[in-house]
Amino acid sequence: MGWKEAAEPVLTRMPAVRRPEGHVPFKRKLMWTAGILMLYFFLTNVTLFGLQSGGANDLFGQFRAILAGSQGSVLQVGIGPIVTASIVLQLLGGANLLGLDTDDPRDQVLYQGLQKVLVVLMVILTGLPMVFAGGFLPAQSSLQLGGLALGQTQVQLLIFAQIFIGGVLILYMDEVVSKWGVGSGIGLFIIAGVSQRLVTGFIQPAAGGFFFDWYRILTGQVEVGSIISGEGLQALLINQGHIIALLTTLLIFGIVVYAESVRVEIPLSHARVKGARGRFPVKLIYASVLPMILVRAVQANVQFMGQILNRQLASMPSWLGVYSQGQPTGGLFYYLAPIYSPRDWMWWTANVAQEWWQVMIRIGIDVTFMVVGGAIFAIFWVETTDMGPESTAKQIQNSGMQIPGFRQNVGVIEKVMERYIPQVTVIGGALVGLLAVWANMLGTIGNVSGTGLLLAVSITYKLYEEIAEEQLMEMHPMMRQMFGNE
C-alpha cells in the first residue's frame, strides 16, 4: 500500500469550501470578495485575549507586509503557514516525490487535502514558539474567565488556541475568495495590508507621515539645515523629507505596470475555422511576482529561527548571531537578514554600527538570494501551476488552435514554447528579485517592503485584468463557454 492509499481516508475528508455549481454572477463575486476583506480587517483588530499590553516583539517584523495578518491579533501568523506549506509542496512536487498527477481528479483532491494538512501543521509549528518561547507574545500571569481562574500556562494555551483558529480561518477565507470571489485570498490580503500601510504612511498626523512631515518642514517646526550641507540634504531625501521613498514608490508602480505589458506574442490560428486568429502572450514577468512571497518566506523563517535561538540559548555563539533589541547586528543571521531600509546599509551615517565590508557582504548575499531564489521559485511556480511549455502546448492543442507554419502536433507546439517560456521565466524572476532589493535599499512610503509593494502593484494589476474579463463575460455570455467558465 502506497502513501496515497494510506492517507486517502484522511485527506479526502478534510473540510473544503464547496465549489459553485454553474456560473457565479459578477456582482455576487464582488460581494463575497468585499465580505471576506471586511472580515479580514475585523480579525486583524481582534486582540488576543490574555495577552499582556505592550512588550510583544513582532517576529515577522518587516516581513509583515508580505505575510499579512497583524501583530498581537487573532491573525497573528497571517498567510505565513499557507506560503510555507506551498514551498514544501513545490519542493516535493519538483523532486517528483509525491507521485501526484494534478490532471487526475482523484490526485487533485489528495493534493488539496495534503496542502490543508500541511497548513494546519505549519500553524502549529509557527504558533507554539511565539507563545511558549517567551517574550514574543507575553501572556498574563493570571486571568479570570467567568468563574474560572487560569494560571499562566492555561492563559498561554488559550492564546495559542486563538492563534490556531485564526490560522485555520485565513486558510478557508482564501479558499472562499478563490472559489466564490475575484482573484485569490492571499493576493487580496497582501493588497489590504500594503495599501493600509501606504495610506498611513501618507496621511498619518504624526512623525513619519509624508504630508505631516512636510507641513512641519514648510512651517519651520522642524529644522533640516542647509540643503547644501550633507546633513540637510540627507534630511530632505531620507529622514524628514522622504523624497527618495516617494520617488521609489512611484517608480516601482511605473516599472511593474510597464513590465506587465512587455510580452512576446506567439501567433495562433484555428485549425478548422478560417480567419479565427489569436495570440498567446508570454509576459516578461511570466510567473508573476507571487514567487517572491516564497523567497521572502524562506528568509522570514530563517530570521524566525534566529530569534528563537537568541531567546532560548543562554549564550549564542557570536559567529551564529549577535542581537541588539531583537535585531541581528552580527554573525551569520545578520548577513542572512534582508536589507530593509536605507538606514541598514548607509555605513557613512551614524545609524550603521557595522563596518563597510560587513554591509557589502550583507547586500551581496541579499541580492544573490533574491535574484537566484526568484529565478528558481519562478521555475517551480510555472511548472506547478500548469504554465510550463508542455502544459501550455496541451491547452493550445485542446482549444483547436495551432501555430501558423507548424504542424498541429503537441510536441511541435511544445518545442516552440520551449524557445520562450523557460528563458522569460528565469529573466522575469531574477528581474523581480532585483527590483525588490532595490526598493528595500531606497525605502518606500510607509516603510512598506520593496517585495510587498511589488506584490501589491502586480496583484492589483492582475485583479484589474480579471475584473475586466469577468465584466466581458457578463456582457457576452458566449465568452464563458470559450474560456471554459460555464
Residue 321 bridge partners (DSSP): none
Distance of CA 149 to the CA centre of its chain: 40
Q: Give the pLDDT of residue 482.
A: 46
Q: Give the pLDDT of residue 476.
A: 59
pLDDT above 60: residue 298:
yes
Mean pLDDT, residues 358-381 taken together = 91
- Which range of 237-251, 413-427, 451-465 scores highest in mean pLDDT? It is 413-427
Give the pLDDT band (50/70/90) at residue 386. Answer: confident
pLDDT above 70: residue 95:
no
pLDDT above 90: residue 475:
no
Mean pLDDT, residues 195-209 taken together = 87
pLDDT above 70: residue 344:
yes
Query: What phi and psi, each to the nearest 5 degrees, are found at residue 409?
Result: -145, 140
Percent of the chain with pLDDT over 90: 20
Q: Which has the higher per-residue pLDDT, 261 or 60?
A: 261
Lowest-confidence segment of 58-67, 124-133, 187-196, 247-256 by average pLDDT: 58-67
Q: Give the pLDDT of residue 426.
A: 92
Q: Give the pLDDT of residue 272.
A: 66
171 vs 187: CA distance, rounded Å = 13
With respect to CATH, is domain 196-480 assigned 1.10.3370.10?
A: yes
Give the pLDDT band (50/70/90) at residue 169. Answer: very high
Q: Give the pLDDT of residue 325.
A: 78
Quick one: three-class SS letters along the chain?
CCHHHHHHHHHCCCCCCCCCCCCCCHHHHHHHHHHHHHHHHHHHCCECCCECCCCCCCCCHHHHHHHCCCCCECCCCCCHHHHHHHHHHHHHHHCCCCCCCCCCHHHHHHHHHHHHHHHHHHHHHHHHHHHHCCCCCCECCEEEECCEEEEHHHHHHHHHHHHHHHHHHHHHHHHHHHHHCCCCHHHHHHHHHHHHHHHHHHHCCCCCCHHHHHHHHHCCCCCCCCCCCHHHHHHHHHHCCCHHHHHHHHHHHHHHHHHHHCEEEEEEEECCCCCCEEEEEEECCCCCCCHHHHHHHHHHHHHHHHHHHHHHCCCCCCCCCEEECCEEEECHHHHHCCCCCHHHCCCCCCCCCCCHHHHHHHHHHHHHHHHHHHHHHHHHHHHHCCCCHHHHHHHHHHCCEECCCCCCCHHHHHHHHHCCHHHHHHHHHHHHHHHHHHHHHHCCHHHCCHHHHHHHHHHHHHHHHHHHHHHHHHHCCHHHHHHCCC
pLDDT above 50: residue 264:
yes
418 vs 410: CA distance, rounded Å = 12
Lowest-confidence segment of 141-145, 196-200, 421-425, 439-443 by average pLDDT: 141-145
- Cα 454-455-459 angle, rounded to 5 deg: 120
Mean pLDDT, residues 330-340 taken together = 91
Mean pLDDT, residues 220-243 taken together = 68
| Ranges for all domains in the chain classified under CATH 1.10.3370.10 | 26-181, 196-480
Q: Give the pLDDT of residue 300.
A: 84
Mean pLDDT, residues 359-368 taken together = 94
* Contact between residue 127 and residue 164 where contact means Cβ atoms under 8 Å apart: yes
Q: Give the pLDDT of residue 134.
A: 61
Q: Give the pLDDT of residue 483.
A: 47
- What are the pLDDT digits (tens) for 74-83? 999 998 899 8
Q: Give the pLDDT of residue 180.
A: 92
- Which range of 16-20, 67-71, 310-314 scores highest in mean pLDDT? It is 16-20
C-alpha cell at 264: 512576446
Give the pLDDT band (50/70/90) at residue 124. Answer: very high
Give the β-pairing of 263-270 and 277-283: antiparallel
Mean pLDDT, residues 226-235 taken together = 61
Percent of the chain with pLDDT over 70: 90
pLDDT above 80: residue 9:
yes
Q: 22: exposed, middle or buried (C-beta count within 10 Å: 0-12, 13-18, 19+)?
A: exposed
Query: What phi and psi, each to the nearest 5 degrees, are found at residue 149?
Result: -95, 125
Q: Give the pLDDT of residue 464.
A: 86
Mean pLDDT, residues 150-179 taken together = 92
On average, the pLDDT of the chain sits at 83
- CATH number, span 26-181: 1.10.3370.10
Residue 270 bridge partners (DSSP): 401
CA distances 64 to 70, 79, 293, Å, are 7, 10, 11
Lowest-confidence segment of 145-149, 215-219, 256-260, 386-390 by average pLDDT: 145-149
88 vs 70: CA distance, rounded Å = 24
Give the pLDDT band (50/70/90) at residue 98. Answer: confident
